[in-house]
Chains A and B, each alone.
Chain A
Amino acid sequence: MLEALIIESKEDTPKVVLDSINKVFQISERSLPENAIGFYEPVLEWLNQYATDPVEITIFNFSLEYFNTASAKQIAKILLILENIAKKQRVAINWYYKKEDSDMLSSGTRFSKLIDLNFSFIES
């Protein structure tokens, strides 16, 4: 099985947990790196490998407090990989947002309209 990818959060980059053994898939906290492509490269690489042999149900949690537009594009890439996985196995997206953060909810809604995946919006 694929080795877990765990990246601890920094001031401007999120915490990432991609662990197929324990079935935890999560991106949380803040994402506003200057070089979003560089930061998300290992994440996308891991997911592309995972896509060849995904678990039966992948529940992916986005629990972001904030992300910049450069990160939005990388999240779009992540969702496209997950969309592909959903063709063979089940995939569900949990999109967490704070009650008072309407922008985070509308970003999630936007993605759910553009990507063919099952989104749940959860107020946290």
Chain B
Amino acid sequence: MHTGNADFLNFVLALFKAMQRDNLGYVYRGRFTQEITDNILALTENKLEKEEHSSKIKKRVYSILVECLQNITRHQDDAKNDLPDSNGLFVIQKQEDKYFITTGNMVMNDNIDYIKNLIETINSLEKEELKSYYKMVLEDGSLSAKGGAGLGLIDMARKSGNKLLYQFRPVKEDSSFFYLHTIPSLEGLEGNFENKEESLNNIISIHNTLNAENILLVSNGPFNQESLMVLLGSLEGQMTGTISHKKKVFYIVVEMLQNIVKHGYAPESKALGNPGIFILGSHKGFYTITTGNYVDKNKSGELKEKLEKVNSLTQDELDNYFNKCLFDFEIDSSKKAGLGIIDLRIKSGNPISYTFSEVTDEFTFFSLQTVITTE
């Protein structure tokens, strides 16, 4: 296990940049159970409620989302194995006022031609033609043995009013990972398709990082108290394990996110909160919780000192240090790092890893990771 100043955390900034580049909001990689699907729906609904004023778009994004998620649950076991790629993928992004949803799952190579043909057919049809094609497939019923696989895709295309973008990435000799990119906006995006192709490639490269680092979910800021509460709500539903273990995770997540809200640095307008990233990793025997955010360069030395101190203390010394800070009411007003970091160290029972990466003369990117051993 790594401790202290850790270069292995460099992936955090790279991931943050990739997420920022295409304005990805939330990425989930894992098994899609009913509970998780419900949580993603609730999270997106909440996000839409805050960001989107048009109830027509809200409804459309929501209904396509339901379709996408059902598509993953229906097909997630089509190519079952123990590879990192056997997990489903869900990505939501908002760019230039439009929402994009990308989903992914493993498929057997035998099915690729069928899926390709279906999508190409769908993409070649006009709105009215799609309607009758939908009817035809519905009445025929022979298209797919899986109960409506084809219908789901046609429906997505109908609801989005845009073409479906897709890609297959080979995984093994008999299976591939199928990426589907939908644009649930009102008007089409003529001429902008090349751009989207690039965006999908970026998502695929992010997905590779997620696979390599065993990441379960990534949430891109901006972080404020409101978005923090939404994220917490969805995490509460996604965590497995005993109540006391879940609670521990909850404590740690709150402190780490409030750290961004309180001490983060916003290079531009702060209106929506501080930019940052939240990453939950699930490994054999332990979880990792990682955050990344900008900090004022003038404050980074002090922060580093505090982290090093906290990591160097024994359990008893930590307890005493916590007590001292608990009754030091001066810290409150000075905006210095307070109890939170000591608490992270005590609650997780493990040293805290961190790294600072140079960005500009004014601010640096600060990554912080705690490890929680599963009982």
Chain A contact residues, CB within 8 Å of chain B: 11-12, 32-34, 37, 66, 68-70, 72-73, 76-77, 80, 98, 100-103, 110, 114
Residues of B within 8 A of A114 (CB): 323, 326-327
**Interface residue from A34, A69, A72, A102 paired with B225 (Cβ < 8 Å):** A34
**Interface residue from A70, A76, A101 paired with B258 (Cβ < 8 Å):** A70
Residues of A within 8 A of B258 (CB): 32, 34, 68, 70
B247 touches A103 (CB 8 A): yes
B339 touches A72 (CB 8 A): yes
B244 touches A73 (CB 8 A): no
In the bound complex, CA of A106 to CA of B343 (Å): 12
Size category of the B interface is 20 to 34
Residues of B within 8 A of A100 (CB): 242-244, 247
B247 touches A69 (CB 8 A): no
Chain B contact residues, CB within 8 Å of chain A: 224-225, 229, 242-244, 247-248, 250-251, 254-255, 258, 261-262, 319, 322-323, 326-327, 329, 332, 338-340, 343, 347
Residues of A within 8 A of B243 (CB): 98, 100-101
In the bound complex, CA of A34 to CA of B229 (Å): 11
Would you list the 10 A-B pairs with minimal beta carbon distance, nearest first?
A: A69-B339, A34-B225, A100-B243, A100-B244, A69-B343, A69-B340, A68-B254, A76-B326, A32-B254, A11-B229
B225 touches A33 (CB 8 A): yes
Residues of B within 8 A of A72 (CB): 326, 339
| Interface residue SS majority, chain A | helix
Interface centre among A66, A69, A76 (most CB of B within 10 A): A69
In the bound complex, CA of A11 to CA of B254 (Å): 13
Residues of A within 8 A of B332 (CB): 37, 73
Residues of B within 8 A of A69 (CB): 255, 338-340, 343
Residues of A within 8 A of B229 (CB): 11-12
B347 touches A103 (CB 8 A): yes
Residues of A within 8 A of B322 (CB): 110
Q: Give A23 Cβ to nearest chain B Cβ, in Å.
A: 28
A103 touches B244 (CB 8 A): yes
Q: Give B157 Cβ to nearest chain A Cβ, in Å.
A: 38
Question: A68-B255, A73-B329, A76-B327 known; 12 other A-B pairs, CB under 8 Å?
Answer: A32-B254, A34-B225, A34-B261, A66-B247, A68-B340, A73-B332, A80-B327, A100-B243, A100-B247, A101-B244, A101-B247, A110-B319
Residues of A within 8 A of B254 (CB): 32, 66, 68
Q: Give A41 Cβ to nearest chain B Cβ, in Å.
A: 12
In the bound complex, CA of A72 to CA of B340 (Å): 10
Residues of A within 8 A of B224 (CB): 34
Residues of B within 8 A of A76 (CB): 326-327
Residues of A within 8 A of B250 (CB): 66
Considering only CB atoms, which chain A residue lies closest to B323 in the complex? Answer: A114
In the bound complex, CA of A80 to CA of B243 (Å): 32
In the bound complex, CA of A67 to CA of B108 (Å): 48
In the bound complex, CA of A34 to CA of B323 (Å): 21
Q: Give B326 Cβ to nearest chain A Cβ, in Å.
A: 5
In the bound complex, CA of A77 to CA of B331 (Å): 14
16 contacts between A and B (CB under 8 A): A12-B229, A33-B225, A34-B258, A34-B262, A66-B251, A68-B254, A68-B340, A69-B343, A70-B258, A70-B339, A73-B329, A73-B332, A76-B326, A101-B243, A101-B244, A102-B244
Residues of B within 8 A of A101 (CB): 243-244, 247
Residues of B within 8 A of A77 (CB): 329
Considering only CB atoms, which chain B residue lies closest to A12 in the complex? Answer: B229
Considering only CB atoms, which chain B residue lies closest to A11 in the complex? Answer: B229
In the bound complex, CA of A107 to CA of B261 (Å): 24
**Interface residue from A37, A98, A103 paired with B251 (Cβ < 8 Å):** A103
Residues of A within 8 A of B262 (CB): 34
Q: Give B42 Cβ to nearest chain A Cβ, in Å.
A: 14
Q: Give B302 Cβ to nearest chain A Cβ, in Å.
A: 18
In the bound complex, CA of A38 to CA of B229 (Å): 18
Q: Give B317 Cβ to nearest chain A Cβ, in Å.
A: 15
**Interface residue from A68, A98, A103, A110 paired with B323 (Cβ < 8 Å):** A110
Residues of B within 8 A of A66 (CB): 247, 250-251, 254
